[in-house]
Amino acid sequence: MFKGSMVAIVTPFKNNQVDFTCLEKLIEMHAEAGTDALVPVGTTGESPTLTNAEHKKVIEFVVKKSAGRLPVIAGAGSNSTQEAVELTEFASSVGADATLQVCPYYNKPTQEGLYKHFEAIAENVDLPVVLYNIPGRTGGSGLSPETIAKLSELKNVVAVKEATGSMDQASKIKSLCDITILSGDDSLTLPLCSVGGEGVISVAANIVPKDVKRFMDFVQEGDFASARKWHFKLFELSKSMLGLATNPIPVKAAMAMLGMIEDEIRLPMTHLEQESCGKLKQALSDYGLL
């Protein structure tokens, strides 16, 4: 469940409501593509803009429609420990296989506060926990390698999604413990796997799931020569797309251009600017998608 190509799946909207018909089509696409796991209502799934009721409904829907074919690692984090526990309990009750737990944002806890936050979640709900370390999204509040190593001693804490962009961070984690490390940046997946990473929670897989899966299969087989070729192909798409604006603005714009979803995103996120749309179309064309 915690290896290979996992998709940080978008939450499609239509008329400012969650488009569950479209979401089901996306789930079927990933089942056919061989994606290793679905990760709904994370950053790419616009969890900050969903109501609590919508958040739960998306988790329940994805679990139901994946129908045991794809593991579901449900985004259930919060800057409130009590709310994170409650969301995790809900995810467990509807059959999610694991949860993704972001570092608390805005309130900027200490390393001790971070440890106790994740400890409370792990001890209150018997569900595997994937830590989500992305200080760029959490006001600089991130997990140190030492805190991750300490958390890995808890039986429910099984993996960390590393989105710090630091290979030193990943290397230090691996030197301290054997927790599974997952890439949180498509462009850094191969470098991270070279120092012990075992998978990616991918944004690009929303558009090219078969290619990300093929890439990760080569990585897992230890065929880094073949993996490197896919890395450079996917690198150009990922950097061209995700460098245009804050995620998930560009990936949702790309999916709309490809007819995969409606061109809708919720405030405070806004549509991709016209100039950037031209660059995105060129990137998709260069990849062979348009």
Which residues are CB-contacts of 260 (< 8 A; sequence separation ≥ 6)? Answer: 22, 26, 206, 207
On whether the CB atoms of residues 151 and 115 are closer than 8 A, the answer is yes
On whether the CB atoms of residues 186 and 200 are closer than 8 A, the answer is yes
Q: How far apart are CA 116 and CA 110, in angstroms?
A: 10
Residue 239 exposure: Cα atoms within 13 Å on the Cβ side: 9
Identify the helix (H) or strand (E) that includes residue 160.
strand 157-162
On whether the CB atoms of residues 133 and 148 are closer than 8 A, the answer is yes
Q: How many CB atoms lie within 10 A of CB 240?
A: 18
Identify the helix (H) or strand (E) that includes residue 276.
helix 274-287
| Sign of the dihedral defined by the CA atoms of residues 252, 253, 258, 260, in that order | positive
Active-site choice (56, 65, 105, 132): 132
Active-site choice (65, 150, 161, 213): 161
Q: If you ran DSSP here, which 8-state letter would residue 91 be given?
A: H
Helix axes 224-242, 249-257, angle to 10 degrees: 100
* Burial classification of residue 173, based on how many CB atoms lie within 10 Å of its CB (0-12 exposed, 13-18 middle, 19 or more buried): buried
Q: Token pair for residue 117?
A: 């936050």
Compute the C-alpha angle 90/92/95, nearest 5°.
110
132 is known as an active-site residue: yes
**Catalytic residue IDs:** 132, 161
